[in-house]
Amino acid sequence: MTTIGHRLGQVRAELKLSQTIMAQQLGIAQSTLSLLEKGQSGLNSELLAGLLEHYHISADWMITGEGPQYIKASDRDTGIPMVKVDARAGYLDHEGSTAYLETLERYRLPNFEGAKGYRIFGVEGDSMIPTFFPGDNVVCQPLDQWKSIHEDTLAVVVSVDEIVIKRVSYFDSADGAIILRSDNPSYKPQMLELHEVREIWSVSARITTTLDHAVLLTNQKVGKLESDLGEVREQLTELRRLIKMLRFDHMDDEHGGVVKADETSE
């Protein structure tokens, strides 16, 4: 069975590339590529992504030697890449590079067939409850023209330090600032200077597993309201009974204990 190094050398030979040229295309040193082919160094996700990006080489084939060597054009660039919560740090470190995006899982979604440039971001924390819940995912389209941002836009903002999902409260390119607010009133607004912002994405859709939970909460509230109304009805019935008894007692006092039938009929 061939090794990863042997398969890497095989690809280079088939493409008729020198180590120097291939190393330049992959963004590594020629000495590193030489070590890889000799099996004295291992492949990382960046190199696998580079092999896919430049030469359409299957990562599965490169690692295991099984399956097709090349990925068909029809199988490439399909679906929307997902930046999960635990992948945020990597996304920031690599500044959303094409090579890094190739390492992310992709998903095909109804109504988003053929969508270009979209991203899926995982939701973390409770700052956007009740709009978004922890564990939700939001489907976003890029806002290349920041001038189109308006107040109340639901956005994913990628800064140099973090990725946040918020609602735009204020944006002014002249002031060089954007103010973001949470839908959860427990959180204070957040201001960022625009030079700190790398990307802004507009939220187009939400993928959630909390729908049943929301319906359950609504049903519980309705059930509680119906129960409260039932108690109020019982209290009103009891109040009418007491008023009727007091009326009888008052009439007894006026007639010396004798009450005529027609006086008590209602």
- Contact by Cβ (8 Å): 134, 126: yes
Q: Is 260 in the same domain as 185?
A: no
Please count the structural domains in the chain: 3
Whole-angstrom Cα distance, residue 166 to residue 173? 18
Both tokens assigned to 236? 């009103």
**Mean pLDDT score, 132-150:** 89
Instruction: Look at residues 209, 240, 255 and tell me which one is the last residue of a structural domain.
Output: 209
In this model, does residue 30 exceed pLDDT 50?
A: yes
Is 0.85 topped by the overall pTM? no
Portion of the chain with pLDDT greater than 70, in percent:
84
Q: Is 153 in the same domain as 94?
A: yes
State the CATH number of the domain containing residue 14. 1.10.260.40
Phi, psi angle pair for 186, to nearest 5°: -75, -15
In this model, does residue 34 exceed pLDDT 90?
A: yes
* Of the listed ranges 11-20, 22-31, 46-55, 137-146, the one predicted with least confidence: 46-55
Instruction: Look at residues 48, 72, 96 and tell me which one is the last residue of a structural domain.
Output: 72
**pLDDT tens column, 178-198:** 999 999 999 999 999 999 999
Report in angstroms the alpha-carbon separations of 140 from 113, 118, 119, 120, 197. Answer: 14, 6, 5, 6, 16
Q: Is 132 in the same domain as 53?
A: no
Residue with tokens 């999960």: 84
In this model, does residue 221 exceed pLDDT 70?
A: no
**Mean pLDDT score, 124-138:** 93
Instruction: Give kind and range of the element (H or E) at residue 85.
Output: none
Whole-angstrom Cα distance, residue 69 to residue 61? 5
Instruction: Give kind and range of the element (H or E) at residue 6.
Output: helix 4-14
In this model, does residue 255 exceed pLDDT 70?
A: no
Residue 242 binned pLDDT confidence (cut-offs 50, 70, 90): confident
**Mean pLDDT score, 227-234:** 78
State the CATH number of the domain containing residue 110. 2.10.109.10
Residue numbers of the domain that contains 92:
80-209
* Of the listed ranges 35-39, 137-141, 143-147, 177-181, the one predicted with least confidence: 143-147
Q: Is 88 in the same domain as 205?
A: yes
- Contact by Cβ (8 Å): 134, 125: yes
Residue 117 binned pLDDT confidence (cut-offs 50, 70, 90): confident
Whole-angstrom Cα distance, residue 135 to residue 133? 6
Query: What's the confidence (pLDDT) of residue 203?
Result: 96
Both tokens assigned to 55? 């030469």
- 140, β-bridge pairs: 119, 203
